Chains A and B, each alone.
Chain A
Amino acid sequence: MTALFSNVARVLLVSLLTAASASAFAQTRVDDAWVRTSVPGQPSSGAFMRITADTDSKLLSVSSPVARDVQIHEMSMTNDVMRMGPVDSVPLPAGKTVSLDPDGYHVMLMGLVGQIKAGDQVPLTLTVEDARGVRETIEVKAPARAMMDSMDMSHDHGSMH
């Protein structure tokens, strides 16, 4: 009973703190976020980053004003066949850095409202939920990089929180 009470109390406390100041509980870090540039008329692009959560959590969703529909997809490669498909969430084990990169999970920006040009700062809002169901939102500004730059993963640090 005491344990249960204490859990409830902690959830309440975290919720209050989250509401009061998003940065008070720095649970999830986002590093090296970037978005691939698009060519005129291209209706979608991808966003990539590294995410580290303090506690076992999952990335539930991402939103951005540059696209009408933002989804999380997973790419897998079997016998040189690339398979792509949406996932409900991305597990973020405590303390482990999870890469959203062209070789695995990534964010699909679908229905772009305009061309994404090199140097654009693309706002992304990530929703992360921890094991207790507490949700956290993280705002990121991801610089847009040209196609050719995607090979060299030069790490200019994106904003984090």
Chain B
Amino acid sequence: MNDLLTRRQVVTGMGLLGLGLLAGCDGSTTALDFKYGKDLSNKIMGRTFKLTDTSGEVKTLSSYRGLMPVVFFGFTQCPSVCPTALARAVQAKKLMGEDGKTMQVIFITVDPERDTPEILDAYVKQFDPGFVALRGTLEQTQAVAKEFGVFYEKVPVGDTYTMSHTATSFVFDSRGNLRLGLSPSLSAKQCAEDLLTVMEVC
């Protein structure tokens, strides 16, 4: 595992030195053999989003270069699948030990009207202070969801609404290649195993 880490750090360093190519570390995005999740290595999704973090800074996928972004769409009033997915990410990160430090959870709200930066910040940080939340205008939210093939819609209830949405966690490697889709039905341990597979390639 130490050899692995060293190799990855070297490769990441090379990436940061500047080629900026959207290719795998070995120059390809060949399919990976995941035990539980869905291989998305051949999908070109989620590369051009531009959203704002909770401190007002504009973020793109390349803002997280060198890390392993795990992107989840949700809303803070979500009673079940969102807190469960975020809590699962915390557990997976712990299970991965030192390697878990490379994982960057990114929560993108599908409810920017109600999820203010303040609420989003407090929400994700209660799971892990390192988690980030991104938010866009209604148009940007539509665009990023489309880019990821994510479905979301408002469900009216009384004088307010709740939301339905795709609950997949999308995992990129440290060079910005989409690699893995994690279903909400997977356990933290299953996720951790597949996440380590992503880290092995890049």
A and B associate: yes
* The stretch of A6-14, A24-32, A104-112, A123-131 that contacts the partner chain: A104-112
Q: Is B88 an interface residue (CB 8 A)?
A: yes
Query: B163 to nearest A CB, angstroms?
Result: 6
Q: Is B157 an interface residue (CB 8 A)?
A: yes
Q: Is B28 an interface residue (CB 8 A)?
A: no
Q: Is B11 an interface residue (CB 8 A)?
A: no
Q: Is A65 an interface residue (CB 8 A)?
A: no
**Which residue in A41, A106, A150 is a CB contact (below 8 Å) of B116?**
A41
Contact between A75 and B81, CB atoms less than 8 A apart:
yes
Decide yes or no: A39 and B79 within 8 Å by CB, A81-B165, A147-B87, A148-B90 being known contacts: no
Decide yes or no: A36 and B79 within 8 Å by CB, A81-B167, A148-B90, A148-B127 being known contacts: yes
Q: Is A83 an interface residue (CB 8 A)?
A: yes
Q: Is A77 an interface residue (CB 8 A)?
A: yes
B70-92 interface (Cβ within 8 A of A): 76-81, 83-84, 86-88, 90-91
Contact between B127 and A147, CB atoms less than 8 A apart:
yes
Residues of B in contact with A, size category: 35 or more
Q: Is A46 an interface residue (CB 8 A)?
A: yes
Closest A residue to B120 using CB positions: A39
**Which residue in B114, B160, B184 is a CB contact (below 8 Å) of A82?**
B184
Residues of chain A within 8 A of B109, CB atoms compared: none
Residues of chain A within 8 A of B164, CB atoms compared: 81-85
Closest B residue to A86 using CB positions: B157
Contact between A39 and B87, CB atoms less than 8 A apart:
no
Decide yes or no: A106 and B80 within 8 Å by CB, A42-B123, A73-B162, A81-B167 being known contacts: yes
Residues of B bordering A, CB below 8 Å: 76-81, 83-84, 86-88, 90-91, 114, 116, 118-119, 122-123, 126-127, 151, 155, 157-160, 162-168, 181, 183-185
- Can you list 18 pairs linking A and B with CB atoms under 8 Å apart? A36-B79, A41-B116, A42-B77, A69-B160, A73-B162, A75-B79, A77-B167, A80-B167, A81-B165, A81-B167, A85-B164, A101-B80, A106-B79, A108-B79, A108-B157, A148-B127, A150-B83, A151-B84
